[in-house]
Structure 1
Amino acid sequence: MLDLNSIRPFLEASPNAYLIMWADKPHYTMVEASTAFYEIAGSSASQIIGNSVFDGFSAQGGEHNEKGVRVLKDCLDRALLLKKKQRCSLQRYDLPTDQGYEVRFWTYEISPLINDEGEVCYLLQHVVDVTGSVLSEAEEKSFDPLIDAYPDAVGSLDLKGNFLSANLAMLNLTECSREDLLRRSFVPFIAPEDFGRAFSGFQKALLGEMAKFETNFISTQGSRYVASCTCMPIKINQDIIGVHLIARNITNLRNAERQLEHYHQRMASIIESIRDGFFAMDRNAVVEYWNREAEHLLKMSSEEVIGQSLWHVLPKGLSTKFYASQQRAVNERISIRYEEFSAVSQVWLEVSIFPSPNGLSVYFKDITERMAAERALEESEKRFKALVQNGSDVISIIDRKGTYLYMSPSSMATLGVGPEFWVGRNVMEFVHPDDAERIRGMLHASYTNKQLHIQPFRFKRNGEEYRWIETVITDMSDDPAVGGLVSNTQDVTERVEYIQAIEDQNKRLREIAFIQSHIVRAPLMRIKGLADLICNYEEDAGQVKMMLGLMNEAVEELDNVIQDIVGKTDNL
């Protein structure tokens, strides 16, 4: 039997950690240990000596300790069976503390101690605590110059959540120096309301799974961010020794999303307030939006339509024409506008289709009143056109300088030439020289008078003869549809000539009256005077004869006058 007393001084003086166990499988009772072993194991001799190694180092503390105990048992059994040294390169076994368990990593060798009979009487375990080097390796493994330049915040955490490394973006996010951040827990950087979610993600990574979560992140200076975080396990030889924490500052993104949501709400409010019907659909014709006016005009609620294919829900009265217009808008990337009567709502609709990157936007409105007004206007225009084209009056539009802008077709009958002759020519070219000054004055007066009545003046017809015309000018320069002076002209030649004939007749009648009152009276007075003399003069017959001759002359004069009057009356 090997004498333990002979090796006890060696164990006490050795800086290495040794443990001697009896080869009493399956207990492997611990019988001696070096001072260094007690130190790294955090135990005393009373807790070690005389106890099974599996009582002193139980499987409690989690799956890592359970695995550590299994590996230790296998090494002990193989060393006992094979009588050869067994080595465990790296094994995690956490030691209990007042706060729980402390992560520890070990390597060890188990050497069988053989007696003179060739039997294994003891097993010697040489244990090395490699926790420091393993964590340092993990820290070095997690740090890379490329990671330091990575725009997202990247750090490595130990199994307690303390920072082992951090890149520049993480330092900026936490507003810490590297020295201040290392060995600090990640927990104070998490907003209290988000701690449960963040710690759950950390725990999930410790179990070997990747975890993603969003949290409000608070820096050491009190700055608050919204961070999208990812936790991934750090593994060495399939053992999880820490957690990678990757955090992306998405504050601006979330603010932009809130602004976009506010914008969408505002746009929805605007769309709902407009009087046009509106709906939007994606590239597959699935309805994405349907406002209240669309519900009213097409008699379908948004609940019935949104999320459905438009072709399954669109009223049949619209499908054919709308489908063709929609296809053209999509294929040619152009806006389409058309009008059609809706049999569903019994109204006329004006439909406008606009292509967008994601589909189509469609606006439509009730134009029934407008269509009725347009039809009424069309009928009115037809009546007006008939009056203008078939009436005897000549309708024209001139500017203030007298240039013709429009001439009605009736100019052919009244003025001898068609409308194309007049447009672009000036009215003064055709006015009689004796009337020109008066007409210029009337054109000038149109600046201050809304309507002018121009008395008859002479106007050249067909470039040859002058005709008398009468015109009423109305200023419609402010009307965009007219933009000039509207002239309504009549040929009054017959009326003017008739008036002139009456005036000539009246002149002759006045002359007859003058003759009757003056010229006829003179010979009559002479005849009357001679008659009186003859009656009162009886002595001289020759004198009487002379007086009768004078009377005869007066009678002839009177006869001539009467003949002249008769001649004048013949022309009346």
Structure 2
Amino acid sequence: MMEKRYIRKDKSIVWVNLTGSLVRKPSGKPNYFIAVVENITERKLAAQKVEESEKRYKNLANQYKMLLESIADAIYALNKDWEYILVNKNAEKIVGMSINQLLGHKIFDVFPGIENTPFFKAYNTVMSTRKADRVVDSFILPNGHMGYYEVSIYPIEEGILCIGKNVSEEKEIERKLVESEEKFRTLFNNANDAIFIIDLEGSIIECNQTAYERLGYTKNELLQMTPFDLDTKKYAEKVSQRINTVHQLGELFYEVEHVRKNGTIIPVEINSKLIIFNGKSAILSVARDITERKKAESEKEESEKKLRTLNNEMEMILDYLPGLIFYKDASNKFLRVNKYLADAHNMTKEELS
């Protein structure tokens, strides 16, 4: 029996099984040949389709395997008996075990105690509800390494498919960011100076406790205001100009007067810097109350004014005294002379002293 291919007149192909039998004469010589031809075209075509399908399946399986190995995430699947039925290279790498240590083994044997973790709780939920879920938490591997992992879980016919990745670095960055924000918030709220964060349109978008308490407002009230509302009239006119200067130069140091809710005025020294706040450019302004300094400067100025007045009065008295009056230092240099002494030397008082 043999398979043969025939080409028909219409160019179509026919596959046949050819079975031949030789009929001999009583003398043993060949007499004639009986051939049985069975048309197996449909069976042959069906077999070809199966072969092509298997070839495509193998190609697809190879592509699928290559895809699994090229994905940076860990991919693994568990059947309904909690056995690993699929594991890619990155899953091996993340858990520190070979495929042979995972495939066919129950998850409870690979990771003792996993049933008490948020991960298994999510696995079990997806396995029973057939609804996808996601979990992010810390996990200690059998080798003692502790890390943070994010796993997305999907229901499949055999059980569940898991796609996971190590997010320890992201968690560490997140932890440091939270820690940094907490430190900033602590410094922000406990600073002795008033601190305002203002957007480039001039609205106050954040302030510390010192700011609203010093001005006599609640925090919510202050966050509805602008620097135009806080400054006295002569300084409010330059608010837009100051905002533009900070935006262009990055910082500005200046003095203004703030008006409290009760109408009293506070002189302040402000250091403004351009920052990024919540992803947008903004201005951080630190306002220091310089009331005491201004008072001291005013008192000093007043004292100096009184001293100048007293000095002028003494000068007049000395000039009208009918005698030669002078003061000298240790080097015999004139410090002060009256008009009589200057006239006696035929010089001015300035020339003598």
Q: TM-score range by the shorter chain?
A: 0.7 to 0.9
Q: Which stretch shows the higher mean deviation, 496-505 or 256-265?
A: 256-265
User: What TM-score comes out, normalization by structure 2 length?
Assistant: 0.73
Q: Does 1:280 align with 2:77?
A: yes
Asked if the contact 1:326/1:353 (under 8 Å) is kept, the reply is no
Whole-angstrom distance in 2 between the partners of 1:463 and 1:243: 111
**Residue 350 of structure 1: aligned partner:** 149
Whole-angstrom distance in 1 between the partners of 2:91 and 2:116: 15
In the TM superposition, what is the alpha-carbon distance from 1:360 to its structure 2 partner?
2.6
**Is the partner of 2:249 in helix, strand or coil?**
coil
The residue correspondences of 1:110-509 to structure 2 (distance < 5 A) are: 176-177=8-9, 186=15, 243-245=38-40, 246=42, 247-248=45-46, 250=49, 253=53, 256-271=56-71, 274=72, 276-317=73-114, 320-330=117-127, 331=129, 333-344=131-142, 345-358=144-157, 359-454=159-254, 456-477=255-276, 480-481=278-279, 483-509=281-307
Whole-angstrom distance in 1 between the partners of 2:202 and 2:119: 51
Whole-angstrom distance in 1 between the partners of 2:3 and 2:172: 77
- Tell me: CA distance 1:332–1:392, structure 2 relative to 1, closer, same or farther (3 Å): farther
Q: Which stretch shows the higher mean deviation, 428-437 or 352-361?
A: 352-361
**Is the partner of 1:364 in helix, strand or coil?**
strand
Whole-angstrom distance in 2 between the partners of 1:278 and 1:259: 20
What's the CA shift string for 1:221-245, capped at 9, x where partnerless?
A: xxxxxxxxxxxxxxxxxxx965352
User: What TM-score comes out, normalization by structure 1 length?
Assistant: 0.47
Whole-angstrom distance in 2 between the partners of 1:426 and 1:378: 29
Unaligned stretches of 5+ residues in structure 2: 22-34, 325-353
Higher strand proportion (structure 1 or 2): 2
In the TM superposition, what is the alpha-carbon distance from 1:475 to its structure 2 partner?
0.7
Whole-angstrom distance in 2 between the partners of 1:307 and 1:512: 105
Amino acid at match of 1:302: I
Whole-angstrom distance in 2 between the partners of 1:376 and 1:160: 78
Unaligned stretches of 5+ residues in structure 1: 1-158, 164-173, 188-198, 207-239, 530-572
**Residue 514 of structure 1: aligned partner:** 312
Amino acid at match of 1:390: N
| Greater Rg by CA | 1
Whole-angstrom distance in 2 between the partners of 1:243 and 1:405: 90
In the TM superposition, what is the alpha-carbon distance from 1:405 to its structure 2 partner?
0.8
**Is the partner of 1:384 in helix, strand or coil?**
helix
- Tell me: CA distance 1:400–1:482, structure 2 relative to 1, closer, same or farther (3 Å): closer
Whole-angstrom distance in 2 between the partners of 1:498 and 1:347: 61
- Tell me: CA distance 1:520–1:369, structure 2 relative to 1, closer, same or farther (3 Å): same
**Is the partner of 1:333 in helix, strand or coil?**
coil
Whole-angstrom distance in 2 between the partners of 1:509 and 1:460: 34
**Is the partner of 1:448 in helix, strand or coil?**
helix
Asked if the contact 1:392/1:414 (under 8 Å) is kept, the reply is no
Amino acid at match of 1:493: T
Whole-angstrom distance in 2 between the partners of 1:409 and 1:176: 98
- Tell me: CA distance 1:303–1:384, structure 2 relative to 1, closer, same or farther (3 Å): same
Whole-angstrom distance in 1 between the partners of 2:207 and 2:70: 49
What's the CA shift string for 1:20-51, capped at 9, x where partnerless?
A: xxxxxxxxxxxxxxxxxxxxxxxxxxxxxxxx
Amino acid at match of 1:289: L
Asked if the contact 1:339/1:351 (under 8 Å) is kept, the reply is yes
Asked if the contact 2:95/2:141 (under 8 Å) is kept, the reply is no
- Tell me: CA distance 1:175–1:508, structure 2 relative to 1, closer, same or farther (3 Å): farther
Q: Which stretch shows the higher mean deviation, 346-355 or 306-315?
A: 306-315
Whole-angstrom distance in 1 between the partners of 2:79 and 2:110: 15
**Is the partner of 1:447 in helix, strand or coil?**
helix
Whole-angstrom distance in 2 between the partners of 1:277 and 1:385: 38
- Tell me: CA distance 1:463–1:260, structure 2 relative to 1, closer, same or farther (3 Å): farther
Amino acid at match of 1:269: E
Asked if the contact 2:126/2:155 (under 8 Å) is kept, the reply is no
Comparing both chains, which one has the higher relative contact order based on Cα–Cα distances under 8 Å and sequence gaps of 6 or more? 2
Whole-angstrom distance in 1 between the partners of 2:185 and 2:169: 24
Whole-angstrom distance in 2 between the partners of 1:404 and 1:498: 31
**Residue 213 of structure 1: aligned partner:** none
Asked if the contact 1:396/1:488 (under 8 Å) is kept, the reply is yes
Asked if the contact 1:317/1:343 (under 8 Å) is kept, the reply is no
Aligned residues: CA RMSD: 3.3
In the TM superposition, what is the alpha-carbon distance from 1:420 to its structure 2 partner?
1.1
In the TM superposition, what is the alpha-carbon distance from 1:482 to its structure 2 partner?
5.8
